[in-house]
Amino acid sequence: MASAGRAATVGGPSCPFSDEGHPMTHTTTARRKHTPRPTLGTTRGQRVARGKAARAEVPRASHSEFTAGADRTDPLTLLEGQGLTRVPELLPIRYGRMASSAFAFFRGAALPMASDLARTPRSGLTVQACGDAHLANFGLFASPMRTLVFDVNDFDETLPGPWEWDVKRLATSLEIAGRANGYPDKSRTRIVLAAVAAYRRAMRAFADMDALQVWYARADADRVQSLTSVSLRGRQRKLLAQASAKAETKDNLGSLTRFATVHDGVARLNAEPPLVVPLRDLVVDPVEAEKTERGLHELVRAYGASLEPERRVLLDRFKQVDIARKVVGVGSVGTRSWMLLLLEDGHNPLFLQAKEAGPSVLEAFVGASEYDNCGQRVVVGQRLMQAVSDIFLGWVRVKGIDGQTRDFYVRQLRDWKGSLDPESLIPEGMLAYGEVCGWTLARAHARSGDRVAIAAYLGGSAAFDVAVREFAASYADQTERDHQTLVDAISSGRIAAEAGI
């Protein structure tokens, strides 16, 4: 059995997933020359053999292992390190949100978990990983065909990496959410086992499909409802239907009503400090404000260069009229996020979000991204993992109002986005939701990784499911301890936090 203190991999120099023969499994500051992908030209039998060889080297039962150890990196030190590059006045909001519950802490602690996962066994099989695949990072959004689809919807940390890490983060999030909801241990066990089994069965199903079938596979809202309806009671079915209906109201017109006010025919974004602060309130000097606004207009023009030509034509129909800094998420609080209001003919709105992109939390443990621009890393990873993506998804590098050059990715702010509130779910609802998330994650991994080898590694038994369930329980215990450490640090004055924002 592989030790929890090392990253176990398969094969020697000739194996494309080995330590020696592949840059994925060692830490480096150099940019990758290419994205790791399954070896082309191998037979299905060879791919199955690769998966079985990985299983022999790193048994499925070894994935139950988690031991913090005396040399574990302090999670608060890691979080404080992240804060060094963020907006200082927003950090207390981040810590206040993370301190509100163990689940909120878990959401913001992708870096500490990546540090811990790097000490656990890994099969050596690589996919385009999400890097932050907890249950709240799945949800509904609009496809370009204007239908609701269900998919992974956060890619700030995406990077080629071990597929197991995403599965373990999803499983642990279900365990922690179940504890927060007061589910008994037996129910939580069923939920986690069902989600991991759904991943395993889906990967085995995708292994029997050709690459195009996998690429076209997706879960639209109707399919999600049909998949979950057998497990949901009346109230839970109603909640799912309501989430779908609510998502369709979150369009650009709805955002105009929510975030802006029209005075004398001119639309301006509303100030809701500290969560939404228009540029005019951030830069009060008129000369500097005009200079900054010109720079932000340049941001939109430069970002357009990352779009396909026909989408640049569409973007050119709109004129930028206002911009505001917006606080988003839990773990993302403190990163620079801009809300841009553009109008066609003075009244038809388009809301874009330009969100700062830094290095993935995985990079310190699996190697640097091949992309010099971190925004491009996010966009390429999102397009690889999602069945369909926002037509305005792009990236840009630009100098900020503080004179520092940063990378951003750009997307529509709210385009039919919706999700289920985990706190509203009964155990049967959480189980059904976890199964859909497990299927969705397998589909995302199957698009970029060697689905045949991964399926062969997983096999037909529940060995991997049971191991991950044990890991999830142990890591949930650790998360609760880490959350309490944050609460204590706030109480002692080591960390400043603002609650309820």
- Is the CA virtual torsion 25, 21, 215, 145 positive or negative? positive
* Phi/psi at 405 (5° precision): -85, 130
Q: Can you give the C-alpha Rg of the chain in angstroms? A: 22
Of the candidate ranges 290-294, 363-367, 433-437, the one whose mean pLDDT is the lowest: 290-294
Q: Please state the domain extents for the chain.
A: 23-245+421-492, 252-412
- The CA distance from 462 to 65, in Å, is 16
Q: Which of 364, 276, 250 lies closest to 328, judged by CA?
A: 276
pLDDT of residue 28 exceeding 50, the answer is: no
Mean pLDDT of 444-472: 98
In three-state secondary structure terms, 162 is: strand
> Peptide bond preceding 274: is omega within 30 degrees of 0, i.e. cis?
yes
- The CA distance from 113 to 167, in Å, is 13
Dump pLDDT digits (tens) for 319-335.
Answer: 999 999 999 889 899 99
pLDDT value of residue 250:
54
> How many Cβ atoms are within 10 Å of 268's Cβ, its own excluded?
16
Q: How confident is the model at residue 23 (pLDDT cuts 50, 70, 90)?
A: very low
For the entire predicted model, the pTM comes to 0.87
Return the structure tokens found at 283: 């830069």
pLDDT value of residue 274:
93
H-helix or E-strand spanning residue 434: helix 427-448
pLDDT of residue 20 exceeding 60, the answer is: no
**DSSP letter assigned to residue 327:** -
pLDDT value of residue 36:
52
pLDDT value of residue 19:
32
> How many Cβ atoms are within 10 Å of 31's Cβ, its own excluded?
12
Mean pLDDT of 195-223: 90
Of the candidate ranges 247-261, 367-381, 457-471, 474-488, the one whose mean pLDDT is the lowest: 247-261
CA geometry: angle at 346 spanning 341 and 348, to 5°?
65
Alpha helices in 84-232 (DSSP H): 91-98, 102-108, 110-117, 163-180, 185-207, 211-216, 221-228
Of the candidate ranges 168-177, 224-233, 283-292, the one whose mean pLDDT is the lowest: 224-233
pLDDT of residue 439 exceeding 90, the answer is: yes
pLDDT of residue 360 exceeding 90, the answer is: yes
pLDDT of residue 88 exceeding 50, the answer is: yes
Q: How confident is the model at residue 149 (pLDDT cuts 50, 70, 90)?
A: confident
Q: How confident is the model at residue 255 (pLDDT cuts 50, 70, 90)?
A: low
Of the candidate ranges 55-59, 132-136, 339-343, 423-427, the one whose mean pLDDT is the lowest: 423-427
Q: How confident is the model at residue 413 (pLDDT cuts 50, 70, 90)?
A: confident
CA geometry: angle at 235 spanning 234 and 238, to 5°?
90
Of the candidate ranges 73-77, 107-111, 360-364, 425-429, the one whose mean pLDDT is the lowest: 425-429
Mean pLDDT of 371-376: 97
Q: Are 172 and 180 in contact (CB under 8 A)?
A: no
